Structures are given as structure tokens and as C-alpha cells.
Structure 1
Amino acid sequence: MVTFINRFTLTGPPDEFERLFEETSAFFRDRPGFLRHRLVRHTEQPAAYVNIADWADAESFRAAVAHPGFAPHAAALRTLATSEPHLYAPVLEREAAAADR
């Protein structure tokens, strides 16, 4: 598994960015190797978002972003935000004990 983390800084309206991101999310949902993602918004900097996406492997991620259908999504998002995308490999993961939930 690999994790894709993309930090966005908005240059356009948040509601439009979230709408376009939802469309991009729907595109990725159907790509082989996609597992899940979360889009989170900074609590004190409303123009800052982070997408955290898990993929089965780096090859699946690279194939998804190379797919011709992704280009329009990427172009649309670039009109509303700058981004810092990076791919990461997991090192450690821990969940809270059942009594702590």
C-alpha cells in the first residue's frame, strides 16, 4: 500500500473547489487499486486542504493519474488551487485501544 498526500492552497472559492474535488473523487473511485481517501480542511486556515488517499500500490496510482480521463480534473482543480503532491510508503500505523474509543 502507498499513501498519496496532496496539500492544496485555494486561490478560488471553497465551494467550487469542493465541488470539483468531489468530481475528481468519483473518477478515482473507479480506478483499479484505489482504496480510499479523505479530503480535510485546516481548522484555522480555511484556504488550506489536504487530500490523503490510499492506493494498493504505486503502479495503480501512477496509472490512474496517467489515465486520459484525469487530465480535465487536474486542470480544473489547478484553476482554483495550487498543490504539493507526494507519494508515501507506510512505516507505522496504530489504532486506539478499544477502551479508548
Structure 2
Amino acid sequence: MITFINRFTVTGPAAEFERVFDETSEFFAAQPGFLGHRLVRHTSDPAAYVNIADWQDDASFQQALRQPEFAPHRAALRELSTGEPNLYAAVSERVA
């Protein structure tokens, strides 16, 4: 499993960003290898969001990004925000 983390700074209306992100989430949810995600918003900086998404593997994630249907989602998010996307591999995990 890999984890994709993208820190967004929203430059447009927050409600519009969340709507566009939700549409993008629907796209990714239909892609092979997508395991799930969480979009969280900073508690004291309303322009700061973080998307944390789990994928089966890097190949599945990269294949989803190459889909032509992803291009409009990418463009819409870029109109409303800047992002800092990175891939991570788990080193340790503990759950209650």
C-alpha cells in the first residue's frame, strides 16, 4: 500500500473547492487500486486542506493519473488551489 498526501492551499471559494474535490473523489473511487481517502481542513486556517489517500500500489495510482478523464479534474482543482502532492510508504502504524 502507498499513501498519497496532497496539501492544498485554497485560493478560490472554499465551497467551490470542496465541490470540485468531491467530483474528483468520485473519479478516483472508480479507479482500480483506490482504497479510500480523507480530506481534512485545518482548524484555524480555513484555506489549508490535506488529502490523504491510500492506494494498493504506485502503479495503480500512476495509471489513474494517466486517465484522460482525470485532466479536467486536475485543471479545476488548479484553478481553485495550489497543491503539494507526494507519495509515502508506511513505516509504522498503530490503531486503537
Report the TM-score, using the length of structure 1 for normalisation: 0.94
Gaps of 5+ in 1: 97-101
After superposition, the C-alpha distances for 1:55-91 in whole angstroms (9 at most, x for unaligned) are 0000000000111110100000000000000000110
> In structure 2, what is the Cα distance between the partners aligned to 1:14 and 1:26?
18
**1:63 is aligned with what amino acid?**
Q
Partner of 1:54: 54
Alignment partner, residue 19 of structure 2: 19
**What's the CA shift for 1:15?**
0.2
Question: What is the identity, as a one-letter code, of the residue corresponding to 1:18?
Answer: E
Which has the larger Rg? 1
Q: One-letter code of the match for 1:28? A: F
- Size of the aligned set, in residue pairs, is 96
- Matched residues in 1 for 2:88 and 2:62: separation? 13
The residue that corresponds to 1:79 in the other structure is 79
CA distance in 1, matches of 2:76, 2:6: 15
In the alignment, residue 95 of structure 2 is paired with which amino acid? E
| CA distance, structure 2, for counterparts of residue 66 and residue 42 of structure 1 | 30
- Point out where structure 2 has 5 or more consecutive residues left out of the alignment: none
CA distance in 2, matches of 1:89, 1:65: 18
Cα RMSD, aligned residues only: 0.4
Please state how far the C-alpha of 1:24 moved relative to its aligned partner: 0.1
The percent identity for this pair of structures is 69
**Deviating 4+ runs (over 3 angstroms):** none
**Secondary structure at the residue paired with 1:5?**
strand
How far does residue 7 in structure 1 lie from its aligned partner after superposition? 0.2
TM-score, structure 2 length as denominator? Answer: 0.99
Structure 1 residue 9, shift from structure 2 partner: 0.1
Cα distance in 1 between the residues matched to 2:88 and 2:70: 21
**Pairing 1:37–2:37 present:** yes
